[in-house]
């Protein structure tokens, strides 16, 4: 009989205790005549006590086995790590083997050539003639001497002035000067070549162009030496050149036919007993490994079968071959890259196979496949439980873009990563995460994680430097230096000018408060390529390292809407599909609260006003319905986030609580005229600032109605002294009180940057400075303001 596990024993004991407890309770509440005897009742109590002792002993044993299992898991993790190290070493050894094999092959070829040259030496003149013949050059002149400029190859002019082209010219020159030739000239044609050369030394001259000429007659006319050849020599040269041309043409036809055959050829990849067929030209075009393998530098370059010497699953190699065979998808306008059909199964399943295929793309140097798989991981697999594995895998494979994106995801979702996985990574990686100024974590949670790591360091390692850094870090958690470097961004509708005319664009501009201050275009979200096809009412909002593009109608009244939600990653500089809208929308109010994107109202198809509210989880892509807004609108109303609630101003102030998924009651003593003409809504601490015409911002104190730590209502009252002026009609107030605003006039953008100070006396003062920048725009209308993290500070650390 097999031995029962502690789990089964515990479950059995708990079942027994449950049965005994039920009998005791039933006996207690039963009527007197149906109760058990005192002895039976006592036996039940003793049995319950015995089972309790047995449960405690089994729990002690289970705790010991849990510790043993923890050690086993640690050993297994160490074995996996060492296995990865071995695999990386094997890859490096394989690369070294390929390089060494190529070098040995080329060395053997060179040694064989040297031996052949030593066995059969050839004179330099023969080598010159061979070089001329091999390059399809004209035959060498018979009057060559040492030091001639045209030796060993004729010049370009000599090549163009060939025999066939210049034969008629030579005959004309000869007939013109025939009467002036000496009497013994024709007798010289029958002389041997050596005598001709010796005789020619007196009247042959070299011209600066490199041509050999001869002075003829009393006028010392210059005649090219190529004109003095016998007809027999002419015929011989022409026949030789013709035969050379014919043989070259045959060789070219042969090479062309072999190339066509190779294009149609297929190779077989052997993996154990499995055989995979793939087009030879396609795999050579996409893989540098196979391109080098088929380049005749290896002895097996012409083999139609290649053995795969790497540890890979047959299904993964089949996916690789399917991707090679598949044609690239057709790109759609204004959308990101399309995913091939052979890779679509990795969108939600088979992550282990995805990793193997990514490693195979690195081994075979298929950059296109590596990029596509990296995009799939970025778009679908950056989940908290996989983030650390993806970060480590990308570093092992040296995928720069994936390294940066996975690291930024670890920083943004730090509090969602399982604590056990976070504490099990190496000390260097742990420090790189917790010391980063961009890590999104509360001070309490960060302190807890660091303290747990310190306990591990005390028990498992003696590295005092790491302990010192962790202790110093706990002292700096409340430091003002531990905050991200932000870029203040503005989404604006602009009109740009080109040679063909003006065109509408939607652009995100970024302002960096450095020395000197910088302002420039960050992303062109939309560009109207055709007249009358503008994406009206599109919403853009951002947070962290991402910008989101939502909704919009392609020309008002056309009922053609952008139904997709897109995310632009500042790290990889690419657009990724996030989700699909449930309803077509434009000119909706938007807000980001934590990881939730909230869409409120707007205008739908057939210009109908929408009252619906929907929430999108940015990490899971799931939508949640919310109660309708009390009042509809057609233009985007002023919106802001205060204390985790979304405040929106239409004809009154409304507040939506995402945590309770409800609209809370807002009380005040004003009539509707108080909120007319509001252009901007901003929040700082518990004060709402309403920006009205002329740039006047008035503060309204908010008193929250709390019930069981949940906000159920609010009451707003106008503050007498919280008021300031700004030239910008739309501003953004951050949590730390920094204020940013923008205004455009006469091809000049003015950015207001400052800080809002509130005193305990109920006053508010804005201290700001102005920065002007010139931009060649016909028009610029600011729509929304938001803050993003500067991607250049991704690896900024709190401690050196």
Please state, in angstroms and rounded to a whole number, the distance separating the CA atoms of residues 33 and 726: 88
Asked if residue 476 is part of any domain, the answer here is yes
Asked if residue 492 is part of any domain, the answer here is yes
Same domain, 546 and 466: no
Same domain, 437 and 553: no
Q: What share of the chain is helix, strand, coil (3-state, %, to 5)?
A: 40, 30, 30
Same domain, 461 and 518: no
| Domain final residue pick, 18, 45, 67 | 67
The CA angle 469-424-427, to the nearest 5 degrees, is 25
Question: Which range marks the domain in which residue 748 is found?
Answer: 486-793
**Of 438, 405, 646, the residue nearest 541 (C-alpha):** 646
| Domain final residue pick, 482, 515, 539 | 482
Please state, in angstroms and rounded to a whole number, the distance separating the CA atoms of residues 592 and 588: 13
Instruction: Say what the pLDDT of residue 306 is.
Output: 86
| Domain final residue pick, 482, 508, 525 | 482
Instruction: Say what the pLDDT of residue 720 is.
Output: 81
Same domain, 502 and 448: no
Instruction: Say what the pLDDT of residue 251 is.
Output: 47
| Cβ pair 200, 99 in contact under 8 A | no
Asked if residue 734 is part of any domain, the answer here is yes
Is there a cis peptide before residue 369, judged by omega within 30 degrees of 0? no
Tell me which of 705 and 228 has the higher pLDDT: 705
Which helix (DSSP H) or strand (DSSP E) does residue 486 occupy?
Answer: strand 486-498
Please state, in angstroms and rounded to a whole number, the distance separating the CA atoms of residues 711 and 643: 10
CATH number, domain at 752? 2.120.10.80
Over range 483-502, report the average pLDDT: 84
Q: What is the DSSP string of 707-729?
A: ETTEEEEEEEEEEEEEEEE-S-S
Please state, in angstroms and rounded to a whole number, the distance separating the CA atoms of residues 93 and 87: 10
Same domain, 580 and 442: no
Same domain, 505 and 382: no
Which helix (DSSP H) or strand (DSSP E) does residue 564 occupy?
Answer: strand 564-569
Sign of the CA dihedral 139, 144, 147, 150?
A: negative
| Cβ pair 542, 591 in contact under 8 A | no
Q: Which of 151-165, 204-218, 735-749 tops mean pLDDT?
A: 735-749
Tell me which of 683 and 217 has the higher pLDDT: 683
Please state, in angstroms and rounded to a whole number, the distance separating the CA atoms of residues 305 and 317: 15
**Of 734, 592, 702, the residue nearest 658 (C-alpha):** 592
Over range 148-173, report the average pLDDT: 53
Same domain, 755 and 726: yes
Lowest mean pLDDT among 114-118, 354-358, 367-371: 114-118
Asked if residue 660 is part of any domain, the answer here is yes
pLDDT digits (tens, 9 = 90+) for 568-623: 999 999 999 999 999 999 999 999 999 999 999 999 998 999 999 999 999 988 99
Asked if residue 214 is part of any domain, the answer here is no
Output Rg (C-alpha) for the chain, integer angstroms.
Answer: 42
Same domain, 354 and 463: yes
| Cβ pair 269, 278 in contact under 8 A | yes
Please state, in angstroms and rounded to a whole number, the distance separating the CA atoms of residues 271 and 266: 16
**Of 351, 357, 419, the residue nearest 390 (C-alpha):** 351
Please state, in angstroms and rounded to a whole number, the distance separating the CA atoms of residues 683 and 176: 102
Over range 325-329, report the average pLDDT: 83
Sign of the CA dihedral 283, 289, 291, 294?
A: negative
State how many domains the chain has.
3
Tracing tokens 């407890």 back to the chain, one arrives at: 21
pLDDT digits (tens, 9 = 90+) for 409-424: 999 999 999 999 999 9
Over range 246-275, report the average pLDDT: 64
Same domain, 510 and 367: no
pLDDT beyond 70 at 214: no
**Of 394, 390, 392, the residue nearest 382 (C-alpha):** 390
pLDDT beyond 80 at 334: no
Same domain, 358 and 502: no
pTM of the model: 0.66
CATH number, domain at 449? 3.30.710.10
Please state, in angstroms and rounded to a whole number, the distance separating the CA atoms of residues 387 and 382: 6
Give the other-Cβ count within 10 Å of 420's Cβ: 10
Please state, in angstroms and rounded to a whole number, the distance separating the CA atoms of residues 428 and 434: 10
Instruction: Say what the pLDDT of residue 167 is.
Output: 57
pLDDT digits (tens, 9 = 90+) for 504-522: 888 999 998 877 888 888 9
- 3 state SS for 131-186: HHHHCCCCCCCCCCCCCCCCCCCCCHHHHHCCHHHHHHHHHHHHHHHHHHCCCCHH
Tracing tokens 């005390």 back to the chain, one arrives at: 458
Asked if residue 241 is part of any domain, the answer here is no
pLDDT digits (tens, 9 = 90+) for 59-73: 888 888 888 988 998
Asked if residue 242 is part of any domain, the answer here is no
pLDDT beyond 60 at 701: yes
Please state, in angstroms and rounded to a whole number, the distance separating the CA atoms of residues 431 and 330: 44
**Of 229, 231, 215, 211, the residue nearest 159 (C-alpha):** 211
Instruction: Say what the pLDDT of residue 228 is.
Output: 39
Instruction: Say what the pLDDT of residue 41 is.
Output: 82
Instruction: Say what the pLDDT of residue 227 is.
Output: 41
Asked if residue 700 is part of any domain, the answer here is yes
């Amino acid at each position: 009989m097999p031995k029962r596990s502690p789990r089964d024993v515990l479950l059995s004991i708990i079942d027994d205790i449950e049965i005994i407890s039920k009998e005791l309770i039933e006996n207690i509440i039963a009527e007197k005549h149906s109760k058990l005897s005192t002895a039976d009742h006592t036996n039940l109590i003793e049995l319950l006590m015995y089972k309790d002792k047995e449960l405690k002993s089994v729990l002690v044993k289970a705790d010991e086995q849990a510790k043993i299992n923890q050690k086993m898991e640690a050993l297994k993790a160490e074995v996996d790590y060492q296995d990865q190290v071995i695999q990386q070493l094997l890859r490096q050894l394989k690369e070294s083997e390929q390089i060494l094999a190529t070098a040995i092959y080329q060395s053997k070829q060179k040694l064989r050539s040297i031996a052949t040259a030593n066995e059969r030496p050839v004179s330099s003149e023969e080598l010159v003639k061979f070089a001329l013949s091999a390059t399809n050059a004209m035959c060498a002149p018979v009057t060559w001497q040492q030091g001639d400029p045209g030796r060993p190859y004729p010049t370009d002019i000599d090549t163009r002035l060939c025999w066939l082209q210049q034969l008629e010219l030579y005959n004309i020159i000869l007939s013109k000067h025939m009467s002036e030739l000496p009497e013994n000239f024709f007798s010289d044609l029958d002389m041997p070549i050596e005598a001709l050369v010796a005789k020619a030394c007196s009247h042959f001259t070299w011209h600066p162009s490199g041509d050999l000429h001869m002075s003829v007659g009393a006028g010392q006319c210059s005649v090219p030496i190529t004109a003095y050849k016998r007809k027999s020599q002419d015929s011989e040269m022409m026949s030789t050149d013709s035969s050379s041309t014919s043989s070259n043409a045959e060789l070219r036809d042969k090479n062309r036919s072999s190339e066509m055959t190779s294009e149609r050829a297929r190779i077989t990849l052997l993996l154990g007993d499995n055989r995979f067929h793939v087009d030879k030209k396609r795999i050579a075009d996409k893989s540098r490994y196979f391109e080098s393998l088929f380049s005749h530098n290896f002895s097996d370059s012409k083999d139609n079968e290649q053995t795969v010497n790497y540890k890979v699953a047959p299904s993964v190699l089949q996916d690789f071959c399917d991707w090679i065979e598949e044609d690239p998808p057709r790109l759609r306008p204004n959308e990101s890259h399309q995913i091939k059909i052979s890779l679509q199964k990795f969108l939600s399943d088979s992550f282990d196979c995805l990793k193997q295929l990514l490693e195979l793309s690195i081994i075979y140097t298929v950059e296109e496949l590596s990029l596509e798989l990296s995009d799939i991981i970025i778009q679908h697999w950056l989940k908290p439980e996989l983030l650390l594995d993806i970060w480590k895998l990308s570093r092992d494979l040296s995928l720069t873009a994936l390294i940066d994106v996975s690291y930024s995801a670890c920083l943004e979702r730090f509090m969602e990563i399982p604590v056990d996985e976070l504490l099990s990574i190496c000390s260097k990686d742990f420090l790189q995460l917790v010391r980063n100024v961009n890590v999104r974590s509360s001070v309490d949670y960060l302190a807890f994680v660091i303290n747990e790591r310190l306990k591990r360091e005390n028990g498992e390692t003696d590295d005092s430097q790491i302990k010192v850094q962790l202790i110093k870090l706990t002292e700096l958690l409340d430091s003002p230096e531990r905050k991200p470097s932000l870029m203040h961004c503005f989404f604006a509708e602009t009109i740009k000018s080109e040679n063909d005319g003006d065109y509408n664009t939607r652009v995100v501009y970024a302002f960096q408060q450095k020395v000197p201050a910088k302002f420039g275009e960050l992303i062109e979200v939309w560009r109207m390529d055709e007249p009358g096809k503008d994406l009206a009412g599109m919403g853009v909002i951002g947070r962290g390292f991402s910008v989101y593009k939502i909704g919009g109608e392609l020309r008002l009244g056309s009922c053609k809407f952008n139904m997709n939600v897109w995310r632009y990653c500042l790290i990889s500089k690419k657009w990724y599909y996030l989700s699909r809208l449930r309803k077509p929308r434009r000119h909706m109010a938007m807000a980001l609260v934590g990881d939730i994107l909230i869409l409120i109202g707007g205008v739908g198809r057939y210009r109908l006003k929408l009252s619906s509210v929907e929430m999108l989880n940015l990490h899971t892509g799931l939508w949640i319905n919310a109660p309708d807004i009390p009042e509809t609108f057609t233009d985007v109303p002023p919106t802001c986030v205060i204390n985790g609630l979304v405040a929106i101003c239409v004809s009154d102030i409304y507040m939506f609580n995402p945590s309770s998924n409800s609209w809370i009651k807002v009380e005040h003593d004003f009539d509707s005229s108080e909120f007319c003409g509001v252009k901007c809504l901003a929040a700082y601490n518990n004060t709402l600032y309403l920006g009205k015409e002329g740039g006047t911002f008035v503060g309204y104190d908010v008193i929250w109605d709390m019930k069981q730590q949940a906000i159920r209502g609010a009451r707003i009252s106008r503050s007498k002294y919280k008021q300031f002026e700004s030239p910008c009609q739309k501003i953004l107030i951050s949590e730390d009180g920094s204020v940013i605003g923008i205004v455009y006039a006469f091809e000049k953008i003015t950015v207001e940057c400052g800080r809002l100070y509130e005193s305990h006396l109920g006053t508010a003062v804005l201290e700001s400075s102005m920065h002007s920048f010139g931009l060649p725009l016909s028009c610029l209308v600011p729509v929304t303001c938001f803050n993003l993290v500067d991607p250049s500070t991704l690896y900024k650390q709190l401690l050196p």
